[in-house]
């Protein structure tokens, strides 16, 4: 009887499989951004979760549009059309927000100030540092949500012909050939070894970190 593992094979390296990997990676980031932003809407603009959730959504959304050592930028791929003008401005606003505020604290949306606390006579009694932070407005978040949705559709439309072409190619491969293809390499380690230091390789390898009760 075939085991579940024997029913899965990793497609061999070809231009189209490399393209599928890149598009799948970008789609994952966009999905993460959409999911996180939905969570922000559910929490509400007045929630203390609004700022961290919208900030993470921005980070996930912008990942496909910055330099990576393991994949092409989404906006430099010939398969991806330009954004419609109605959303290009939203994209640029989100990009700048990520660069100056979320990834780097440089914009006027974050104001750290030294504060003196005074007594009733106006004498200084205490000094403290505080930060005033302006979160993403709801109206911008709603436009951002539309932008993510459009980008997800664009990536999906670019992915479909790749999937179809690979499906046709796959059906022409003999079982004897397919059985020699690689299987995903799943590795198990303890959570004390958790690390993000290793760069992703073309060969499919994934480490699951598990907690071991002492």
Measured CA distances, 47 to 40, 136, 174 (Å): 8, 12, 56
CA distance 132 to 46: 15
Beta-ladder partners of 127: 116
Measured CA distances, 175 to 7, 44, 170, 181 (Å): 11, 53, 10, 10
This prediction's pTM: 0.87
CA distance 56 to 23: 21
With the C-alpha atoms ordered 83, 72, 79, 63, is the resulting torsion angle positive or negative? Answer: negative
Contact criterion met (CB below 8 Å) for 57 and 144: yes
User: What are the pLDDT digits (tens) for 194-208?
Assistant: 888 888 777 777 888
CA distance 73 to 69: 10
User: Which residue is it, tokens 């598990």?
Assistant: 210
Tens of each residue's pLDDT in the chain, 214 residues: 445 455 778 899 999 999 999 999 999 999 999 999 999 999 999 999 999 999 999 999 999 999 999 999 999 999 999 998 889 999 999 999 999 999 999 999 999 999 999 999 999 999 999 999 999 999 999 999 999 999 999 999 999 999 999 999 999 999 999 988 877 788 888 988 888 888 877 777 788 889 888 7
The two tokens of residue 131 are 């930060």
User: Which residue is it, tokens 């760069």?
Assistant: 199
Runs of H (alpha helix) within 44-174 = 50-62, 85-97, 138-171
């Amino acid at each position: 009887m075939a085991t579940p593992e024997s029913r899965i094979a990793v497609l061999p390296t070809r231009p189209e499989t490399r393209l599928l990997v890149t598009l799948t990676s970008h789609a994952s980031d966009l999905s993460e951004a959409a999911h996180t932003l939905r969570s922000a809407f559910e929490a509400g603009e007045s929630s203390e979760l609004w700022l961290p959730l919208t900030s993470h959504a921005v980070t996930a959304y912008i990942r496909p549009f910055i330099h990576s050592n393991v994949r092409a930028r989404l906006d430099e791929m010939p398969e991806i059309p330009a954004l419609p003008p109605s959303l290009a401005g939203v994209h640029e606003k989100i990009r700048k927000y990520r660069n100056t505020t979320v990834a780097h604290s440089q914009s006027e949306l974050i104001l750290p100030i030294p504060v003196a606390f005074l007594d009733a006579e106006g004498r200084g009694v205490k000094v403290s540092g505080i930060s005033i932070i302006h979160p993403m407005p709801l109206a911008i978040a709603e436009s951002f949500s539309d932008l993510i949705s459009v980008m997800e559709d664009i990536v999906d439309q670019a992915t479909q012909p790749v999937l179809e072409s690979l499906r046709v190619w796959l059906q022409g491969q003999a079982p004897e050939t397919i059985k020699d293809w690689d299987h995903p390499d799943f590795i198990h380690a303890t959570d004390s070894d958790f690390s993000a230091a290793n760069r992703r390789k073309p060969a499919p390898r994934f480490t699951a970190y598990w907690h071991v009760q002492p």
